[in-house]
Chain A
Amino acid sequence: MKVGQPEKFIIDGKRLDGRAVDELRPLKIKAGVLKRADGSAYLEWGGNKVIAACYGPREVHPKHMMRPDRAVLRTYYNMAPFSVIDRKRPGPDRRSQEISLVTRQALEPVVLTNLYPRTAIDIFIEILQAQAGTRCTGITAASVALADAGIPMKSLVPACAAGKVDGEIVLDLFDIEDNFGSADLPVAIIPKTGEVTLLQMDGNLKGDEFERAFKLAVEGCYQVYEKQKEALIEKYGGGD
């Protein structure tokens, strides 16, 4: 048992932060928060505070990354040193490199990269405060930042995780649940078709538990999607 692990995660049907098992943390999204970036978004999702910026289409450096038939989509996930209790040393570590990779693959299916051959579309995700679920927060933010930059996309991409604590399937883990829980399953989807663009899992789930957690995460994605649309309507008016 790890140091600091609580005895129970769910008491009288409520989680330690007061939520029901299928309840998202509060989520606020604001599009267009930076001046220099071509597009940007700021998210507060529970205790996560995340900013995403998009630059592009723009010239590709180094040149050998250029693709003759499409834009290269590049994603960079980074944690501010003060975003976590134990100061994060600046620079990419293995975890952030993996998250950068799956973030790119979560967004690639919707971005119409073929419209801008020989260019780069760069997405930067900065975690200013982390409370578990930062990769879903980052993908959700990045998708809004892309829209804010006017990059043509088939769809927004909302992301949300489900997991298991105390043997129960719960939506949208926060940090204590993430650190000491028994499974975490982040998912990103294309809302119109329900197709899955991100899927990772670590922990221990029986087959039926997986199915329930997966469906719960997908439902979470649809809730997140509503917030994404609201943020864009707030800035631009109209629906997506």
Chain B
Amino acid sequence: AQPAAPTQPAQEEKPFRVAVVMPSTITDLAFSQSFFEALKKVQEEEGGPSKFEIAYSEGMFNVPDAAAAIRDYAAQGYDLVIAHGSQYGTSLSQIAPDFPETAFAWGTSLDTFQAQGINNVYAYQAESQEGGYVLGTIAALMSKSGVLGVCGPVNAGDAKLFVDGFVAGAKNAKPDIQVNVTFTGSFSDVSLMASAAETHIAAGADMLTGSSQSVVGAIGVAKDRGAYWFGTQWEQTPVGPETVVATQVFDWTIVIRDMVKSARAGVLGGKAYTLTFKNGGLKLVYNDKVPVPDDIKAKAQETINGIMNGTIDPLSGPKQ
């Protein structure tokens, strides 16, 4: 390993070096992939690997290993070390003070540890409930059976926000809609997620959604059984080209761009970012292959607008 690079004011010819540690893989069609793709996009903008270097460690579901990786990247003089998983927070709060010259980032959370006197950590989070609310609206309007199924991984964090938003959106669009919610207790149990989807379909659901990398199992089932799917985090269309109706896609580029800019300017942390429809971090992407009636699309856009101008609270509904 190289010795920690003495941090001079950023020199032009030196590449900016980013390292990211992720719990799942960069091909998970969800949480990790969304972030990695954004990094690559920024890399392109910055002029390729020679100008903007990316290192990553994927599949770090073991927190101590992730902590080691974070520490290691910092020691190797990476300019920005990103801990892309809420479970890494504690480790990060212990590592960051040891490397005051390095910028760190923690997702998804809004805590930059400034309260603990730490100034070199950014935090970022997606307001998943926003897209959840919109997708819930669309699903409720499209549903013929009047039953929706939500395949949750664990009832916490990003998944919880999304699920709560989805339920709220559906209920507001159609008060008599029935939304069944299940959790598998795991982010990675593809098979159990598939069974959950089966159960939802057997219980009458014709529109399904869910979060985490394990939903691919559910999409496979939905596709097989002719149900529709609403995705979140990353485009899941390849798994169900005629099944996925629409997806809330996370676009982290705005966050990454600003962190890079800020780090270059010597502000190594203390900022908390969110992805919202308003700042363009959240995008609603339709799948062309699945026709969505125009009136529903219009209603969706209206909902997005409402969320953006604050008249709709994605966790409860329109404000009076």
Chain A bound to chain B: no
Interface residues of A (CB under 8 A from B): none
